[in-house]
Amino acid sequence: MSNPPLFYETAKCVALYLEPNIRFQLYQRCPSFRTVHKVQAIRIRQLWINYANFEMNGTVYRLGVLRKYPSGNTPQSIDMKNKEGGIQYEVDKYGIPTIPEGTQIDGEVLTDAEIKARLEHNAIQLEKTAGSRITRTIQLEKRKLEIRSYEMRMANENPPFDQFIQFTNDGERVEILDYQQTLTEARNYLLKKIIGTAGRVLIESLNIEDHSYFFTSSLAAQESPLAHN
């Protein structure tokens, strides 16, 4: 015998005291609960927000850009990064890191041709590097893919892949979005979906670290902060 559904006011009372991550799961899976979620206040013990991640009561939500090849021939280095959840910096349609408007970087600004030449030199050096053959092979593939990306952009060619934003909850995929917005915009959209309620949002501890880290070029060994105007 199935239990009768909760009356609306009773459901609102239950929603108020539900752990917010469980409440979001109900919102996703139970259409009849969505109206309640949208109007009832939500209580959050701890919310930590970063550039492309946020953590709510210990549950980590992550956003990353995936690269999908319709042909099915996904390079190994790209497949590995996709399985990790995707990259967490902005790129153009060729997969080349972008620098957002309103930022400035120190040092020289290279043309695509100059960056391509440096990447080609770096690839030659990688081929001569000692060490694990598997690691070297993957690094060399990544470098050659970067070179090809610059070649496509210089020739105004269409890339052989599509890009998407993946949203995961503790490693479990929740949603896939077209990569037509920045990671920050996608993060804000998903935050609003989770805690965007017409009622009050009660947060005991809030920590916002919205520092954006980007690659200033594909030659960068690691992400580095940009100086904002």
Residue 210 near residue 228 (C-beta atoms within 8 A): no
Residue 187 near residue 174 (C-beta atoms within 8 A): no
**pLDDT, position 2:** 57
Please check whether residue 147 lies inside any domain of the structure. yes
Q: Assign 19 a pLDDT band (cuts: 50, 70, 90).
A: very high
DSSP assigned state of 136: H
Distance CA 173, CA 85 (A): 9
- pTM score, two decimals? 0.80
Q: Give the largest CA-CA distance in the chain.
A: 72
Please check whether residue 26 lies inside any domain of the structure. no
Please check whether residue 202 lies inside any domain of the structure. yes
Write the single-letter amino acid at 108: E
Q: Assign 104 a pLDDT band (cuts: 50, 70, 90).
A: low
Please check whether residue 27 lies inside any domain of the structure. no
Domain holding 76, by residue range, is 41-228
Please check whether residue 219 lies inside any domain of the structure. yes
In this predicted model, what pLDDT tens digit does every residue of 61-81 receive, in sequence order? Answer: 999 999 999 999 999 999 999
Please check whether residue 106 lies inside any domain of the structure. yes
Q: Assign 226 a pLDDT band (cuts: 50, 70, 90).
A: very low
Q: Where are the beta strands (DSSP E) in 14-171?
A: 42-50, 53-56, 59-68, 103-104, 162-169
Q: Assign 110 a pLDDT band (cuts: 50, 70, 90).
A: confident
Computed over every residue of the chain, the mean pLDDT equals 84
- Residue 23 pLDDT > 80: yes
- Residue 12 pLDDT > 90: no
Domain tally, the chain: 1
Please check whether residue 12 lies inside any domain of the structure. no
Please check whether residue 123 lies inside any domain of the structure. yes
**pLDDT, position 142:** 94
Residue 128 near residue 138 (C-beta atoms within 8 A): no
Distance CA 9, CA 128 (A): 70
In this predicted model, what pLDDT tens digit does every residue of 26-69 receive, in sequence order? Answer: 888 888 888 888 888 999 999 999 888 999 999 999 999 999 99
